[in-house]
Amino acid sequence: MTRTKPSAPLLSSVQTDRAAGVILGLACGDALGAGYEFQPPRIHGEPVDMVGGGGFRWAPGEWTDDTSMAVAIAETASTGVDLRSSTALDAITVRFVNWAKDAPDVGIQTGAVLRSIAGDPTSDAAATRAREHFARTGRTGNGSLMRTAPVALAYLHEPDARGQAARAISQLTHGDDEAGEACALWCDAIAHAVIHGNLEGLRLAVAALPADRARVWSERMDHAESVAPHEIPHNGWVVAALQAAWSAITRTSVPIGDPASDSFPAQHLARALDAAVRAGDDTDTVAAIAGGLLGARWGASAIPIQWQQIVHGWPGLQANDLIQLGLLTARAGEQQAC
């Protein structure tokens, strides 16, 4: 597969900050929600902080499988390889399988697929098992959407390639086309936010779908914007997880810019992630999904320093490592597209 030239110049300093915020924002949302997973909504003033704990006894600031799988994708993307190629998809599959062997938490659907290909860790085998799993169960979790953000960084200026790569990587563990569609839409939103500094990309991506799918997703976005995140049930389902993340982002007010009262628009990032965690149930994943887009909109500089100081996880990375990985991914993508 060939890659066409990007339609925009190399990233400005502001865009670079936003690119640096994508994976870090995902990880911080993930670690913020990790200690509250499978708990009821926290809508009565209960505290939310990066305290760790939960069913898997996470350390304070430790991310979960959401970020670990995103890191595995970014490790490959940062080399500049086309993520649609069998070389890249095989490398990601091997990394997924090796990670899952010792991971304390692997999603049910993802784990089932990865265990089934342990003796043949190829992308073809993974995609086949994922399709079989979906045909047998009819259920699609949110495990491909939570990890998809690095794909957006790898194809900031290439919408067609970005969508193809998002779907191909989703299909490694999730055989439902709707999961791939959700990943492609969210990647479009992230890429748009990095380049243009706003949250209009999701609606633009939905509008560009075929008419029947655009109607479906428009109604879903309308609903998400009309209810609080905790009012969207079953957020372990890919569509509901996207809706809950979008609800948290759009229904959280952007603070006015008033330095005298310590009010800055970029505080929207932390407040929206707080709202995502308060949805309850799959808190880490909803907040991770939201965090990738919020980081793309507001940048690494908007992420609270107290979060950056403690966020960490597999394979022994910290905040600065995620910033570097995000920037390497974005820069490698631009270089390969030229």
Please name the residues in contact with 77: beta carbons below 8 A apart, sequence gap of 6 or more.
83, 88, 150, 151, 153, 154, 329, 332, 333
Q: DSSP letters of 12-48?
A: -HHHHHHHHHHHHHHHHHHHHHHTTTTBPP--SS---
Query: In angstroms, rounded to a whole number, what is the distance separating the alpha carbons of residues 285 and 33?
Result: 8
DSSP state of 303: S
Question: Residues in the chain, how many?
Answer: 338
Predicted confidence at residue 6, as pLDDT, reads: 47
Phi/psi for 290 (5° steps) reads -60, -40
Query: In angstroms, rounded to a whole number, what is the distance separating the alpha carbons of residues 146 and 166?
Result: 12
Predicted confidence at residue 276, as pLDDT, reads: 98
> Residue ranges per domain, the chain?
13-337
**Other C-beta atoms lying within 10 Å of the C-beta of residue 51:** 16
> Which token pair is 319?
């905040």
**Secondary element (H or E) of residue 318:** strand 317-318
pLDDT in tens, the chain (338 residues): 545 544 546 899 999 999 999 999 999 999 999 999 999 999 999 999 999 999 999 999 999 999 999 999 999 999 999 999 999 999 999 999 999 999 999 998 999 999 999 999 999 999 999 999 999 998 889 999 999 999 999 999 999 999 999 999 999 999 999 999 999 999 999 999 999 999 999 999 999 999 999 999 999 999 999 999 999 999 999 999 999 999 999 999 999 999 999 999 999 999 999 999 999 999 999 999 999 999 999 999 999 999 999 999 999 999 999 999 999 999 997 776 65
- Fold classified for 13-337: ADP-ribosylglycohydrolase fold (1.10.4080)
**Secondary element (H or E) of residue 6:** none
Query: In angstroms, rounded to a whole number, what is the distance separating the alpha carbons of residues 226 and 91?
Result: 41
Please name the residues in contact with 15: beta carbons below 8 A apart, sequence gap of 6 or more.
194, 195, 197
